[in-house]
Amino acid sequence: MRDYKRETEKRVEFIRGVLKSARADGIIFGNSGGKDCALAGILCKMACSNTLGVIMPCSTKRNYGSDKDDAEALAGQFGIDSRTVDLSGVKNELCRIVGEAAELSDVAANIAMAPRLRMTVLYAIANSENRLVAGTGNRSERYMGYFTKWGDGACDFNPISDLTVTEIYEFLRYLNAPASIIDKAPSAGLFEGQTDESEMGVAYHAIDEFLLRDAKPDESTMQIIEEYHAKSDHKRHPPATFWDYMVY
């Protein structure tokens, strides 16, 4: 297990250095009520008193229920300023307008659109108030490509990107984060009944055992992990350019 006291100190130092370098006045992050944004938000608040968490429900009942409740509990416990921007109407209207030009896939309408709308909101506020957008993605999700390109994968800096899901939970327990956030099943809340592990078909502990070299998953699990990693390779690299092709 990591030394989370030392981890806290170093990450707070990192965040303060990023802010100073950018000459930013504050930080903003999407407060979904989940484990990753909870840890990122706590660390950012420790580093900068002017940290804002934005709650952005979009379409699903969970967004307006337990997710919103947990986001508010986090903000209240750690003194994080909070605002709410309801995106359901915007998403529905955008789906209607784009649907007149193309038949939207389930991925486009129900999975990718909400994270990209949320990132639009974060950057609109950030640009207006000289804030930096904090990323909330973890190492396990990144390896699997379980994030939306130009959505929740976009940020100005990320204080938790090297941590696996297992380590995220350990860190949250160390910081005494709300139990409701630690105990609930990880979910992006993009559609009713969705959970990360059921959607991927593999448990986070298996992914983390592989990443941390604690154990090698069975063959079928490894196949899922390898397939997810391979097909999402483009998400982890800058856009391909002709210059890159010419150089190599």
pLDDT tens column, 122-159: 999 999 999 999 999 999 999 999 999 999 999 999 99
- Domain annotation covers residue 88: yes
**Predicted pLDDT at 189:** 66
Split into its structural domains, the chain has a count of 1
88-99 helix and 113-129 helix, angle to the nearest 10 degrees: 120
CATH number, position 142: 3.40.50.620
| Model pLDDT for residues 178-196, shown as the tens digit of each residue | 999 999 887 766 666 678 8
Question: Kindly report the CA angle at 129 between 122 and 139, in degrees rounded to 5?
Answer: 40
Residues with Cβ within 8 Å of 71's Cβ and at least 6 positions away in sequence, in order, are 31, 32, 33, 37, 53, 55, 82
Range of the domain at 18: 4-196
Q: What phi and psi values does residue 155 have, to the nearest 5 degrees?
A: -175, 170
DSSP state of 109: I
Task: Determine how β-strand 51-55 pairs with β-strand 26-30.
Answer: parallel
| Cα–Cα nearest to 166, from 210, 127, 123 | 210
- Domain annotation covers residue 87: yes
User: Could you tell me if 40 and 175 are in contact, meaning their C-beta atoms sit under 8 angstroms apart?
Assistant: no
Local structure of 153: helix, strand or coil: coil
Residues with Cβ within 8 Å of 141's Cβ and at least 6 positions away in sequence, in order, are 36, 147, 165, 196
- Domain annotation covers residue 242: no
- Domain annotation covers residue 42: yes
- Domain annotation covers residue 36: yes
* Positions in the chain whose pLDDT score sits under 70: 188-193, 247-248
- Domain annotation covers residue 234: no
- Domain annotation covers residue 236: no
CB atoms within 10 A of CB 74: 27
- Domain annotation covers residue 240: no
